Amino acid sequence: MAKQPGEMENLVAGENISSFYNKKKVFITGHTGFKGSWLTAALHKFGAEIKGYALEPEQPGGLYDYIQPLSLSTSVISDIRSKEKLTTEILSFQPDFIFHLAAQPLVRRSYQVPAETFDINVTGTANLLEAAGKLKNKCSFIVITTDKVYHNKEQDVLYKEEDELGGHDPYSASKACAEIVADSFRKSFFNLSDYSVHQKALSTVRAGNVIGGGDWSTDRLLPDIINHLANGKPVLVRNPDAVRPWQHVLEAITGYLLLGIQLHNNPDKFSQPFNFGPQPEDHLPVREVVEKAIKIWGSGTWKDVSDKTQPHEAGLLKLDISKAARALEWKPKLNADEAIRWTVEWYKQKEEQKADFTIGQIEEYFVL
């Protein structure tokens, strides 16, 4: 039997994602950040018309610094908390899709600026959804949160989308709150029973520990590894036994894009949360990731600097990705070794080659 329009038709293939987003209008908050820059680069490759809204990059040498001169998007530098400015930029663009990545994304920083973290991650999300609700055209929203939204019992279990939300640290709690905000807007303003009237669909996505080139954020493992190795110093490891769901950034982005397609075509079935993470065997302890990265780099050592007086960070966190595999036919293409290798290889490139290398990795990934 022939498939009807809107049904899943081998959407994992890069050319199908490309053809769908070609000439679509996509609004990305946080486009200057690590994941936002990769999403911008991929959508530009696919021919989308992109408008980004974010603060200036905090760290020099990040991916945005390399791709921005390629004029991949219309860039608006502003704060997600500037409600009137945000609303004006969204309504003037009239997007078909909104990907919300703007956030205070760091666990350890959230202990230093807890109120600001909640303000950005919770109020910022509410500002975005209120503004987007004023659009007159059909539009699909994807709010990017984190794997840390779950009430982590520090047990060897894979968290499913319907599991209890929580959060020990301010960052994790703020992202759990953002999930509640999104669910409230979905029920109150974007209710599927009235979809024919408002034509708005909303999903949230929870990715694992995402790695890839162009991330220089403070207190993130791969940037710390690269910084120390490049300077000939031992890598200092705070929590060597902590287990995380490691995945390359392009894995998560592909999941977001596939979900966007289905959210657009079948809002009644896909207006819900989705996990994107690695296969179970790629939930690895930090020490193993460090050792793999050092081996790929070609030299280096690491040192355990565990300190029980440091702020709490999760020791064990795993994601169940069976829902995305079943509903979206999405699955990781890179195992942990490959994800780490792709990441380290990006950092080893000469400065003038990093933009082209980024596009090359996108092209290579979508033909795997």
The whole-angstrom separation of Cα 34 and Cα 61 is 11
Q: Which amino acid is at 204?
A: T
Q: In three state form, how does the secondary structure of the chain look?
A: CCCCCCCCCCCCCHHHHHHHHCCCEEEEECCCCHHHHHHHHHHHHCCCEEEEEECCCCCCCCHHHHHHHHCCCEEEECCCCCHHHHHHHHHHHCCCEEEECCCCCCHHHHHHCHHHHHHHHHHHHHHHHHHHCCCCCCEEEEEECCHHHECCCCCCCCECCCCCECCCCHHHHHHHHHHHHHHHHHHHCCCHHHHHHHCEEEEEEEECEEECCCCCCCCCHHHHHHHHHHCCCCEEECCCCCEEEEEEHHHHHHHHHHHHHHHHHCHHHHCCCEEECCCHHHEEEHHHHHHHHHHHHCCCCEEECCCCCCCCCCCECCECCHHHHHHHCCCCCCCHHHHHHHHHHHHCCCHHHHHHHHHHHHHHHCCC
What pLDDT shows up at residue 219? 81
What pLDDT shows up at residue 24? 97
What pLDDT shows up at residue 238? 87
Q: What is the pTM of this model?
A: 0.93
What pLDDT shows up at residue 7? 42
Domains and CATH numbers, the chain: 14-208+248-279+319-336 (3.40.50.720)
The whole-angstrom separation of Cα 202 and Cα 191 is 10
**CA distances in angstroms from 284 to 245, 248, 293, listed in the order given:** 7, 14, 13
Along the 368 residues of the chain, how does pLDDT read in single tens digits?
334 444 444 444 466 899 999 999 999 999 999 999 999 999 999 999 999 999 999 888 899 999 987 888 899 999 999 999 999 999 999 999 999 999 999 999 999 999 999 999 999 999 999 999 999 999 999 999 999 999 988 888 899 999 999 989 999 999 999 999 999 999 999 999 999 999 999 999 999 899 999 999 888 899 999 999 999 999 999 889 999 899 999 999 999 999 999 999 999 999 999 999 999 999 999 999 999 999 999 999 999 998 766 676 666 888 999 999 999 999 999 999 999 999 999 999 999 999 999 999 999 999 88
- Whose tokens are 């998560």? That residue is 252
What pLDDT shows up at residue 68? 84
